Structures are given as C-alpha cells and as structure tokens.
Chain A
Amino acid sequence: MITLVETDYKCEPVGMGVISVVNHPHEMYSVLGSCIGVAIMDPRAKLGAFAHVVLPQSNGRGGLPGKFADTAIPHMLELLKERGASRRGLVVKIAGGAQMFASSGPMQIGESNAAAVRHAVRGAGLAIHAEDVGGTEGRKVTVDCATAQLTICRVGQPEIVI
C-alpha cells in the first residue's frame, strides 16, 4: 500500500511496511522498535518520503515494497521523482533498529535492518546524512520535509533532532 497524502492530513502515521509521501506543511510519523524509519527528503521542494522498513531482504517474497530494505529505497526514489523531487540535494536520514531482546542471539534484526538500509541507500548512489540507530528502546520519529529534520522521542529521555 502506498499512501499519497494531499491536503487532508496534518501528520500522517506510517505503519509497518508502508511508504508515505507528503508535501510541507504536512508531516509523517512512525513508532519504531527494531524496524527502521527511512526518510528521503527534498527540502527545496519541501517534499519527502518516509518508509517503515520491517525486514532486511525481500528474497523474492511478496508484500509491500516498503516492507523490505532492498525494495523500499528504489520505490521511494520512484515516488519522489513522480512528485517532482530533484535527485540532487536529496537528504537521507534514518532512525530505529532497537534491540531489546536476545542481545547475543543469532537474530539481531535491528542491526540487520540498519545494515541493509545503509547498503540499499549506497546502492542507489545516495549518502546517509544522519542516523539515530540501535539501543534498547523504541522511538517515535516525526519527519518535517521542509527542514529535512527528524524529531525523535524516547520514553524518559529528552527529544532529539537530527
């Protein structure tokens, strides 16, 4: 499912596997655990896409393009291009990838998700400008595509902006 937000929403929740695209003044947010929130923004056009990436690799599995790191990034770039974003000047920021459980276990999904997103972003010829990844707590991440800033809240900690 792809959500194109026009003028009806102020702050769009972005669920697991979903990619949303909004124009300023609208914003988007996700609550993230081990998933990664990927924001690709064109601050000059005041336009941005936000994906709530669930798993590292699609490996031929079906599902929403935003569910997997390897399918989300190309799809976000396509959506931004359709909406008139310029590839030059795109700002990429990521957050999430917490790991509350089984710190020594074989399935470090938060870390794997972050690594897969970094790989996919590099593969698309882009760089990550800022990230807030890892730790053991969840995050609420809000995207402002006009300033290309992510506001990140963790329970019991001061809000940070990257």
Chain B
Amino acid sequence: MNHPAAAPATALSLQKLFGLATATASRAIECWTNGTVSLAMEDLHEAPLEEAVAQLGVSEERAVMILLGIDGELTGDFVLCFGERDGRLLCSAVIGMEPNEDEAWSELDKSALLETGNILGSAYLNELTALLQRQLVPTPPQFVLDFGSSVVEQVLLPHGMLSDSVFVARTAFRHGVDRRLDAQVLFVPGPALRDVMEVTIAGR
C-alpha cells in the first residue's frame, strides 16, 4: 500500500495539534531547565521522504539523540536530536553546573538528557492522547551518540515503505532570549497511528 499525500486541511489541523503539543512541551522544558530553554514550532509541511532529513536540518556530524518509541497497537517514534555542544549546554542548564568538555559523555549528562527526552516525549504524547482518546504507551528512552542524519534516516525508512512523503515540523530550541540551539524534535507515527490521527482530524 502506498499512503496518499494528506489533504491541505489535514496539514492545517496537524499544524494546530503540533503547535499545542509544542507549547505544552515548551512549558515542561522551561520548568525543567529553570526557564533557560524554550521551544516553539516554526512550520509544518509535507515533504518528499528523500528531502526530509535535509529539511529538518539534522546534522551529518556526531549528534546526541534521545529515542523514545510508542509501543502497542499504535506505534511511532520520537527523537530528540542535539549537536554535541548544545546537548552539553542543555545538560548544564538542567544540572546547574558548567558544561562538561570531556569527549565522553558522563552518566550524569546522559541521565539529564534521557530525562529531558522523557519530559518532552510525554508532553507531546499527552496532547496526542487527549486528541485521539487512545492510549499511547511510551518505551523507556534510549541515549544514542551517532551521525545525526543516519539515525533520522533509520527512523524515517519504515514510513517510506508506505508513503512517498512525511510531515516535517520544524521546531526552534532557544537558550535564553536569542541563542538558537542546534536541536530538533522528530515525531514519526507508524501507519496505524497516522491513520487514527487523520481520521480524528477529519472528523473534527
């Protein structure tokens, strides 16, 4: 089956949904980082699969990622991706210490990022659960240090078996008022979850 492109109304509704979810996630991360880090959705659009990695702005260099799956009947993947330098900056905001400059990631830094992934993932999933009235079960978060685009590619490819396009939501992370962080959030619903989202949105 090749999933057809979504109607423009679906894109608008998804934009509204992810705008709300991002606002919830931003409140959660502001609370978690003592007000130093915030996020906002910049735009959402449908892109050809092969252009999605470039449009998301995910680095080809080493990046730290927190992966969170959705298990059960409705599946999906949630990825929080940081350039290494800004991942360490986020850790320092969470832990309240100067950024660790060692090449290796300490267990404390990993733990801070894992918890950040948990908080952000839960904020997004709570909004989705409220909209869909269906239970979404997150898996434990996983810390990964790898080439950013190679991991995102692996998340997107199962979706590519069914559809030639994906929705790309660009999210800006900010540290303080004006410093933009090298960070992205990626959410890829599995086929059943995507169908439920589209049906729910069409019925609203």
**Contact residues of A with B, CB < 8 Å?**
13, 15-18, 31-35, 54-55, 61-64, 67, 98-101, 107, 109-110, 137-140, 155-156
Interface of A is mostly: loop
Is the pair B145, A33 in contact by a Cβ cutoff of 8 Å? no
Q: A31-B153, A63-B48, A137-B150 are in contact. List 14 more A-B contacts (CB 8 A).
A: A15-B54, A16-B49, A16-B53, A33-B153, A55-B157, A55-B161, A61-B2, A61-B164, A63-B164, A64-B50, A107-B158, A109-B154, A139-B147, A155-B62
- Known A16-B50, A16-B53, A63-B50: A138·B157 in contact at CB below 8 Å: no
What chain B residues lie within 8 Å of A110 (beta carbons)?
154
**Contact residues of B with A, CB < 8 Å?**
2, 48-51, 53-54, 60, 62, 67, 69, 77, 144-147, 149-155, 157-158, 160-161, 164
**How far does the Cβ of B138 sit from chain A's closest Cβ, in whole Å?**
15
Is the pair A17, B50 in contact by a Cβ cutoff of 8 Å? yes
**How far does the Cβ of A141 sit from chain B's closest Cβ, in whole Å?**
10
What chain B residues lie within 8 Å of A31 (beta carbons)?
60, 147, 149-150, 153
Is the pair B161, A109 in contact by a Cβ cutoff of 8 Å? yes
- Known A15-B54, A16-B50, A109-B158: A35·B145 in contact at CB below 8 Å: no
- Which 4 residue pairs of A and B lie closest in terms of their CB atoms, listed nearest first? A138-B150, A33-B153, A33-B150, A17-B50
Question: How far apart sit A69 and B178, CA to CA, in the bound complex (Å)?
Answer: 45
- Known A54-B50, A61-B164, A63-B50: A155·B147 in contact at CB below 8 Å: yes
What chain A residues lie within 8 Å of B2 (beta carbons)?
61
Residue in A18, A54, A155 whose CB lies within 8 Å of B49: A54
Is the pair B60, A140 in contact by a Cβ cutoff of 8 Å? yes
Is the pair A98, B157 in contact by a Cβ cutoff of 8 Å? no
Residue in B53, B69, B146 whose CB lies within 8 Å of A137: B146
What chain A residues lie within 8 Å of B67 (beta carbons)?
101
Question: How far apart sit A55 and B182, CA to CA, in the bound complex (Å)?
Answer: 29
Question: How far apart sit A34 and B151, CA to CA, in the bound complex (Å)?
Answer: 8
What chain B residues lie within 8 Å of A100 (beta carbons)?
144, 146, 151, 154
- Known A61-B2, A109-B161, A156-B145: A98·B53 in contact at CB below 8 Å: no
Is the pair B54, A35 in contact by a Cβ cutoff of 8 Å? no
